[in-house]
Amino acid sequence: MSKSAARLLEELDGIRKYLGAIQDCLKTGYMPDIASLEKRVSDICLKVQKAEEDDQKQCLPELSALMQSLDDCERDLRQWHAAAMKTGSDS
């Protein structure tokens, strides 16, 4: 594995861990700050797009897993928001 692919995979893993932390916060009833999430995801997607073809191939499974994690996180955010609207709380 090339160093650049390893760096990309490390960054993808970091974003997935961040998403997990967001979901953990939501489970405790707390809305975390997600302001940087869109930029982080956009940046990593651009980096993978610009990477060498072999590096891209190595990153695709993790990128796919990241997209699934984003979908899961979006679902949890929507559920948290709906519950907060019912209780009138927006922690």
Q: What confidence score (pLDDT) does residue 13 get?
A: 95
pTM: 0.84
In tens digits, the chain (91 residues) has pLDDT values of: 899 999 999 999 999 999 999 999 988 988 888 999 999 999 999 999 999 999 999 999 999 999 999 999 999 999 988 988 888 755 5
Nearest to 12 by CA among 50, 57, 65: 65
With beta carbons less than 8 A apart as the criterion, state whether 21 and 32 touch.
Answer: yes
4, amino acid identity? S
Calpha distance 51→71 (Å, rounded): 24
| Tokens 């997209």 belong to residue | 67
